[in-house]
Amino acid sequence: MGCCDCIFGTIKGGINLISKTLLMGFNGFFMVQGLTITIVMIVAMVLVNALTVEGGETLGFITTIQNIATGVLVFGITILLTSFLGCFGACCKNQCMLITYAVILVALIIGQITMVSMAVSWREDVEDDLKEDWEGELEKYDPSADFPRKEIDGLQKDWSCCGVNTFEDWKINSYLSTNHSVPDSCCKNVTVGCGYDFFNHVNSTMYDINKEGCYDAVRGNIMPWFEFVWIFIIIIILVQAVLVVAASCLAWKTKKGG
């Protein structure tokens, strides 16, 4: 029996060591991951906020993107704080903290799986809604009013683009369609009246406008940051499942007084 007890004691000690090592190592890694996601989303939010005009109203589709970025930012901060809890609980062998950590991890895993599933299944719908909102802003564009003229003009100048999908989108605007024009902000060299009567001279070399739609221009700069985060989240889900088991084993061993 003494030999068996020795063997079982060695196995339990090994499990304890492995669990503690996993928790300390991976949570240290996740603290870095959480910090990375937080920083990446702050950068993304700065890029999105750059689409707004200081002191002006915010376009509807920009608000949607800001809300998504804020949600992912909160997730990154949650990962950072939860990882700290796991590291501290493993280091101090605090059973209460380990159990709390494991419960939070299970909730996070469920939430993350739900979030990734929604992002995959709703991605096209969200993008279509964003385009529809954006086109709605184009329809409301009034050269004599500040909103949303200033916001759209600023966006088209900053991103060297015109319209939503293409410059042709401006044909839906009732103010500009009467004289077959696009906003002057569509021009590569912006001058007063440079977009006037453009659609009657689309192929003329006299008109030099940006023909790429703003949606692709903005999406190409902002979406890679979100895709970077989705990859991180998938990796995190897989490792968190292992950490739940490790935290449970260590909490059980701590309760036994090991």
Ranges of each domain in the chain:
2-255
Distance of alpha carbon 33 from alpha carbon 44, whole angstroms: 16
Q: Is 209 helix (H, G, I), strand (E, B) or coil?
A: strand
Whole-angstrom distance, CA of residue 21 vs CA of residue 72: 29
- Residue 4's pLDDT band (cuts 50, 70, 90): very low
Residue 16 has pLDDT above 70, yes or no: no
Say what angle helices 60-92 and 214-255 make with each other, to 10 degrees: 20
**Per-residue pLDDT at 2:** 44
- Predicted confidence at residue 53, as pLDDT, reads 62
- Radius of gyration of the chain, Cα coordinates, nearest whole angstrom: 27
Average pLDDT of the chain to the nearest whole number = 81
How many helices (H) and strands (E) the chain has is answered by: 6, 0
pLDDT at res. 93? 73
User: What mean pLDDT comes out for the span 103-112?
Assistant: 86
pLDDT at 95 over 90: no
Q: How far is CA 100 from the centre of its chain?
A: 27
Tell me the pTM: 0.60
Residue with more model confidence, 152 or 19: 152
Name 212's bridge partners. Answer: 166
pLDDT digits (tens, 9 = 90+) for 212-223: 999 988 888 877
What are the tens digits of pLDDT across the range 148-194? 888 899 999 999 999 999 999 999 999 999 999 999 999 999 999 99
Q: Tell me how far apart the alpha carbons of residues 86 and 37 are, in angstroms, rounded to a whole number.
A: 18
Tokens of 145: 């009013």
